[in-house]
Amino acid sequence: MKNKITININNEKANRFKKLERIKAASISAYTDKYEKQILCQDVKNLPMGTKIKTAGRIVLLREMGKIIFVHLYDFSGRIQIVLKHGEINNAKYELFIKIVDIGDFVGVEGEVFTTKKGEISILVKDYTFLGKALRPLPEKWHGLKDVEKKYRKRYLDLIMNEETRKVFKFRSDFIWELRMFYRENGFHEVDTPVLCNNASGALAKPFITHHNALGVDVFLRIAPEIYLKEAIIGGYDKIFEVARSFRNEGMDSSHLQDFTMVEHYSAYWNFKDNMVFTEKMLTTIIKKLLGSLQFEILNRKAELVKVDFTAPWKTVSFRELLIADCGIDIDKCLTVEKLREEIMKKGVKIDDLEKLGRGNLIDSLYKAVSRPKIIDPTFLINHPIDLSPLARKNDANPLTVDRFQLVVNGWEIINAYSELIDPVDQKERFEKQMEIRATGDEEAMLKDDEYVEAMEYGMPPMSGWGMGVERIVALLTKQSNLRDVVLFPLMKPELGSAKACAEE
- Strands in 196-197's sheet, in edge-to-edge order, are 196-197, 217-221, 209-212
Question: What distance in Å separates the CA atoms of residue 76 and residue 66, rounded to the nearest whole number?
Answer: 30
Question: What distance in Å separates the CA atoms of residue 243 and residue 191, rounded to the nearest whole number?
Answer: 8
Question: What distance in Å separates the CA atoms of residue 165 and residue 171, rounded to the nearest whole number?
Answer: 10
Provide the pLDDT for residue 501. 52
With a cut of 80, say whether residue 496 has pLDDT above it. Answer: no
Provide the pLDDT for residue 148. 86
Q: Which of 429, 434, 433 is nearest to 456 (CA)?
A: 429
With residue 233 as reference, give the H or E element that holds it: helix 226-234
Let me know if the fold of 2-138 is the same as that of 161-314+377-491: no
Question: What distance in Å separates the CA atoms of residue 207 and residue 230, rounded to the nearest whole number?
Answer: 20
Q: Is domain 161-314+377-491 annotated with CATH 3.30.930.10?
A: yes
Classify 2-138 by CATH class.
Answer: mainly beta
Q: What is the DSSP string of 316-358?
A: EEEHHHHHHHHH---GGG--SHHHHHHHHHHHT---TTTTT--
With a cut of 60, say whether residue 144 has pLDDT above it. Answer: no
Q: Which tens digit of pLDDT belongs to each residue from 199-229?
A: 877 776 788 999 999 999 999 999 999 999 9
As a whole number, mean pLDDT of residues 109-121 equals 96
With a cut of 60, say whether residue 460 has pLDDT above it. Answer: yes
Provide the pLDDT for residue 390. 74
With a cut of 80, say whether residue 146 has pLDDT above it. Answer: no
As a whole number, mean pLDDT of residues 155-182 equals 95
Least-confidence region, from 110-119, 286-295, 333-342: 333-342
Q: What is the DSSP string of 366-393?
A: HHHHHTGGG--S-EEEE--BGGG-TTBP
Q: Which tens digit of pLDDT belongs to each residue from 279-309?
A: 999 999 999 999 999 999 999 878 889 999 9
Question: What distance in Å separates the CA atoms of residue 337 and residue 339, rounded to the nearest whole number?
Answer: 6
As a whole number, mean pLDDT of residues 458-470 equals 96
As a whole number, mean pLDDT of residues 471-488 equals 95
With a cut of 60, say whether residue 1 has pLDDT above it. Answer: no
Band of residue 445 on the pLDDT scale cut at 50, 70, 90: low
The answer to whether the beta carbons of residues 326 and 344 sit under 8 Å apart is no
With residue 422 as reference, give the H or E element that holds it: none
> What percentage of residues in the chain have a pLDDT greater than 70?
94
Band of residue 49 on the pLDDT scale cut at 50, 70, 90: very high
Q: Where are the domains of the chain?
A: 2-138, 161-314+377-491
Residue 63 β-bridge partners:
70
With a cut of 90, say whether residue 498 has pLDDT above it. Answer: no
Q: Which of 462, 422, 417 is nearest to 275 (CA)?
A: 417
Helix/strand/coil for 82 = strand
Band of residue 66 on the pLDDT scale cut at 50, 70, 90: confident
Mean pLDDT taken over the chain: 90
Q: Which tens digit of pLDDT belongs to each residue from 350-390?
A: 998 888 888 888 988 999 999 998 999 999 999 888 877 77
Q: Which of 259, 193, 198 is nearest to 232 (CA)?
A: 193
As a whole number, mean pLDDT of residues 334-362 equals 89
Provide the pLDDT for residue 118. 92
